[in-house]
Every structure is written in structure tokens, then in C-alpha cells.
Amino acid sequence: MNYQTFLPHPDLAPLVKCYWTLEVPAQPDTPRQRIVPDGCIEMAFILGDDIKRFTSGDDFILQPRAMILGQTIEPFFIQPTGHVNTFAVRFYPYGFANFVSVPIKELANKETPIEVLFEKESANTLEHKIRSAASTSERIALADAFLSDQLKSRVIIDNIVKSTIDKLFTARGSTSISTILKDDPSKRRQLERKFLKQVGMSPKQLGKVIRLQTALNMLLHQQPESLTQIAYESEYYDQAHFIKDFKEFTGTTPKDFQHDDSLLLSSLFYAKD
């Protein structure tokens, strides 16, 4: 697997986390890959062969070749049908809402063709240019120009949403929303509504995903001596709580995570992100 990340234009950097590319040669009997929620929305262009996204059991759909991947709360499985060649934009949790008018919660747990969310002709033109571009740098320039043009008429994300997300990242997801809002119930209800509209999940759900990222990075990089140590350093209440959340968002246990072939792709994203 050849996975690389690239920085966006400085004007987009507050909203776009990175661009990324992934290339994997065609292989016989390619195993399904489990995709783990990371709290981000992505705009992805499939430049290689089709990719299956499993909906239940052996039932699947083919992912759109130019799509928005909305927030996911549960892991899902994909499977390449051949050569993988993908170019994508990864937005910060509050980032994508600045480019579209639809509530972000409507995009959750599914793929949406970009022509549904943007003016159809300009979306189709972008897809054609991305597919025919000769290099990654050319694709990045095209995406930069398209997103900058879409941003001109949009309102920057609400400050209460951004500040809450910044605090969640600073605390690695371990700070409660009540603490952030200083126990003001009216602010909490307002925040819940804005999160669903602009982020696509609740503040509590995003906090759990961010804390999970901390634990995943420890598993991938630090090789801690025990799950108890991971739970402690990730500020879970106890090991049982850690394992419960881990299984909820990954579909497997921490012990099995590093040895599960279906998690190779998710492991790659976390190792390089």
C-alpha cells in the first residue's frame, strides 16, 4: 500500500486537514477492509477500479466514483475489485459545513455523490479534471481552486462549535461537554443542535472518537505493556470502559486490533495521520 498525505493551500488549512492518495496493486481475493470512524468528513475520487461498500452480510453497493463520505459512528467494510487508486480531501470535523448548505447530519453513515451537493455541472467538471490530471500536484491545485470558489459565499463555522472541538482535541477527548460548557444546560442544547447540523454527530460522540484515536495511536506506535496502561493514559474510567468503547467504534477488541488483516487500511491511516 502506498499512502501519502499533502498539505492544503494555506487559505484552506483551517478547514481542510490534508489531501491524501492511496495506491494498492490489484490482488487476487483481496480481503475486506474495516474502516474505523475518525470524526472527519472526506471528499474522495476513485481513480482506479470500483470499490464495494458492504451494507450487511454479503450485500454491497459500489461506492460513487466522486463522493462525500459522511460521518460514521460504526465501522464498515469495503473491498476493492481490483487496482486501488484514490485521491481524497480530509476535512476537519467542522470544516465541510463551510462548503455546502445542507445540514451535515444528512450525510452521516453514507456516501453522497458530489453532484448532489454542489452545482451539477461544476461537480462533474471537477470529477473529469481530477480523473484526467497527470499528477497529484495537479489534482491538489484543482481541489484547492474548487473548494476556494465554493467557500466564497459561505459563512465560517460557528465559534462555539470550533472552540468545543478544539478543546476536545486538546484534552484528547477526555473532557466532558458539561465541563467545557460549565454546566449551562441552555448552551448544551444549542451545541447539540449545531453539532448535528455542522459536524454530523453529537459532541459526546466526537469526544469518544477522539479519545479512541489516542488509544489507537498508542497501540500502533508506543506498544504499551498492558491494556490497563492504555486505558489509563487515554483517560478512560477503567479498562472495561476502554474495551467497550474500542469495540463499539472498531468492531474488534484492542488485543485483536494489530493482528486483524481487515484493519490494515485503518491502521495505515492512523499510523500516518
Which of the residue ranges 110-124, 206-220, 248-262 has the most confident prediction, judged by mean pLDDT?
A: 110-124
Indicate the range of 72-76, 196-200, 268-272 predicted with least confidence. 268-272
User: How many domains, the chain?
Assistant: 1
**Average of per-residue pLDDT across 166-171:** 87
Residue 116: give the domain boundaries.
2-151
27 in a structural domain: yes
- Give me the CATH number covering residue 140: 2.60.120.10
**Average of per-residue pLDDT across 136-154:** 89
pLDDT of residue 273: 53
Confidence of residue 175 (pLDDT cuts 50, 70, 90): confident
Evaluate if residue 155 carries a pLDDT over 60. Answer: no
Q: Which residue has the cell 469526544?
A: 207
CB under 8 Å to 259, separation ≥6 — which residues?
none
pLDDT of residue 60: 95
Beta strands in the chain (DSSP E): 2-6, 16-24, 33-35, 41-46, 51-56, 59-62, 66-69, 76-80, 84-91, 111-113
pLDDT of residue 16: 94
**Average of per-residue pLDDT across 124-128:** 97
**Average of per-residue pLDDT across 239-262:** 77
Query: Got the DSSP string for 163-222?
Result: HHHHHHHHTTT-S-HHHHHTT-HHHHHHHHHHHHHHTSS-HHHHHHHHHHHHHHHIIIII
138 in a structural domain: yes
56 in a structural domain: yes
**pTM of the entire predicted model:** 0.85
Confidence of residue 52 (pLDDT cuts 50, 70, 90): very high
Indicate the range of 16-20, 124-128, 266-270 predicted with least confidence. 266-270
- Dmax (CA) for the chain in angstroms is 56
**Average of per-residue pLDDT across 174-196:** 80
pLDDT of residue 29: 82
227 in a structural domain: no
**Average of per-residue pLDDT across 68-90:** 92
242 in a structural domain: no
Query: Got the DSSP string for 230-242?
Result: HHHHTT-SSHHHH
pLDDT of residue 242: 82
194 in a structural domain: no
pLDDT of residue 56: 86
Sign of the CA dihedral with 191 first, then 193, 194, and 197 last: positive
192 in a structural domain: no
Indicate the range of 106-110, 182-186, 197-201 predicted with least confidence. 182-186
pLDDT of residue 5: 95
Evaluate if residue 123 carries a pLDDT over 60. Answer: yes
pLDDT of residue 39: 87
pLDDT of residue 264: 67
